[in-house]
Amino acid sequence: MKSIEKTADDILSRAVRLGASDIHIVPRKDGPLIQFRIDNKLYPQEVLTKDESERLISHLKFLASMDIGEKRRPQSGAITIEMENKMIGLRLSTLPATFSESLVIRLIPKHNILPIEHLSIFKNTADKLSALVKHSHGMIILTGPTGSGKTTTLYSLLHHAKAMMNRNVITLEDPIENESEQVLQVQINEKAGITYSVGLKAVLRHDPDVIMVGEIRDAETAEIAVRAAMTGHLILTTMHTRDAQGAVYRLLEFGISWIEIQQTLLAVTAQRLLELQCPICERNECKGKCGIQRRKRASAYELITGKELSAVLQAAKGAGNDVSYRKLRNEIGKAVAFGYVNQEEFTRLVFEYETK
């Protein structure tokens, strides 16, 4: 019988080799099931015994400094490991379920920070995003579901601000997904009382030029972020909304006044990560026809700024009509027209965008 350490290493190593973004340990009556999420689809792996599952979860919780004796409450933890000659960040989340405890592990490869022009499928969008971080104050909000590349975009913009303008950049993250010596990173630790709102108050006394707030989750954090943007700081943050203009309405729900939003908000984006195909080879991997190494994935962005943002704000105030601007589905459709994305990927992403 393999040791539980060997079982854990085998599962993690296989997930990394297959390019999985998540590992699920799903409790079932017939035995806990291991599943990998690869390219937004779940693939069953093997079935464990209940004893194997409990020992495996306890082992992983121990590595992530979680309470292995607590199985009645949800827990979360994080750890960085070396696997397949790569540094991989693991974000663990447990939930008590009917048959036993459930565990989901998000795999976050530690990689070099990519320039924004390597992230966006279209260069003109990358240029607009890069120009936004030249502002000395204001707020930029990135929206999109989990796994859409928001954090990767944030890191890229932050490093652009640091490298191009030599600004003092401080981040508040939960967890720190990609360690960098170029910026000062602060780990959110709610057990120790370091929440986003508490951390943001402290960061403001640390002479920052640019502040990255991992996520605006509540009214207090939103209020502090807006005030920081009004007092000479550039704030980059994320929200979970269906589309870009939804972030404006979310700020209003948090109690931020319309005039404060109008004075601080520079831009809002909604993004989705696209699986690319080569327009020459007409398949996901280039192997000779074009002789060019293509990126496997890139992001499409719905970007609202300038006059379009003003129109969205007027509509939110009730002083304007429905706003017409270039939506995310238009950007994805353009990628299909250029041959970068297939029709199946377009259908999947547009359905996800319009229903969430």
The domain that holds 95 is classified in CATH as 3.30.450.90
For residue 112, the model assigns a pLDDT of 67
For residue 287, the model assigns a pLDDT of 56
> What's the chain's length in residues?
356
**Which of 74, 109, 144 marks a domain boundary?**
109
Residue 107 has pLDDT above 70, yes or no: yes
**Which of 54, 78, 109 marks a domain boundary?**
109
Tally the domains of the chain. Answer: 2
Are 301 and 191 part of one and the same domain? yes
Cα–Cα distances in angstroms (integers) from residue 336 to residues 2, 240, 339, in the given order: 48, 26, 5
Residue 294 has pLDDT above 70, yes or no: no
Report the 10 Å Cβ neighbour count for 37: 18
3-state helix, strand and coil shares in percent for the chain, rounded to the nearest 5: 35, 25, 35
The domain that holds 174 is classified in CATH as 3.40.50.300
Are 95 and 203 part of one and the same domain? no
| Closest listed residue to residue 336, CA positions, set 254, 252, 259, 274 | 274
For residue 10, the model assigns a pLDDT of 94
H helical segments located in the chain: 4-17, 50-63, 116-119, 123-132, 150-165, 196-203, 219-230, 246-253, 258-264, 306-317, 328-337, 343-355
Q: Per-residue pLDDT tens for 264-286?
A: 999 999 999 888 887 766 555 55
Distance CA 98, CA 284 (A): 40
Question: Which of the two residues, 191 and 222, has the higher pLDDT score?
Answer: 222
Residue 295 has pLDDT above 70, yes or no: no
Q: Which two tokens stand for residue 231?
A: 């007092």
For residue 276, the model assigns a pLDDT of 83
Are 235 and 316 part of one and the same domain? yes
Are 299 and 155 part of one and the same domain? yes
Are 302 and 233 part of one and the same domain? yes
Residue 3 has pLDDT above 60, yes or no: yes
354: pLDDT confidence band, cut at 50, 70 and 90?
Answer: low
Are 272 and 315 part of one and the same domain? yes
Are 12 and 104 part of one and the same domain? yes
Q: What is the mean pLDDT of residues 103-125?
A: 87
291: pLDDT confidence band, cut at 50, 70 and 90?
Answer: very low
Q: Per-residue pLDDT tens for 296-342?
A: 788 999 999 999 999 999 988 886 666 788 889 899 999 888 888 88
Q: What percent of the chain has pLDDT over 90?
A: 53
Q: Per-residue pLDDT tens for 247-265?
A: 999 999 999 999 999 999 9
Q: What is the mean pLDDT of residues 133-162?
A: 91
Q: Per-residue pLDDT tens for 18-48?
A: 989 899 999 998 889 999 998 778 999 999 9
Distance CA 310, CA 308 (A): 5
Are 181 and 135 part of one and the same domain? yes
For residue 122, the model assigns a pLDDT of 93
Are 98 and 159 part of one and the same domain? no
**Which of 109, 124, 140 marks a domain boundary?**
109
Q: Which two tokens stand for residue 223?
A: 């209020």
Question: Which of the two residues, 343 and 22, has the higher pLDDT score?
Answer: 22
Are 314 and 254 part of one and the same domain? yes
Are 224 and 281 part of one and the same domain? yes
| Closest listed residue to residue 221, CA positions, set 255, 183, 244, 271 | 255
**Rg of the chain's alpha carbons, rounded to an integer?**
22
Domain that holds residue 335: 116-355
Q: Phi first, then psi: what are they for 137, rounded to 5°? A: -155, 165
Are 93 and 121 part of one and the same domain? no
Q: Per-residue pLDDT tens for 158-207?
A: 999 988 889 999 999 887 877 788 899 998 888 788 888 899 999 999 99
For residue 83, the model assigns a pLDDT of 81
Kindly give the pairing relationship between strand 210-213 and strand 169-173.
Answer: parallel
Distance CA 34, CA 43 (A): 9
Q: What is the mean pLDDT of residues 70-89?
A: 86
Residue 356 has pLDDT above 80, yes or no: no
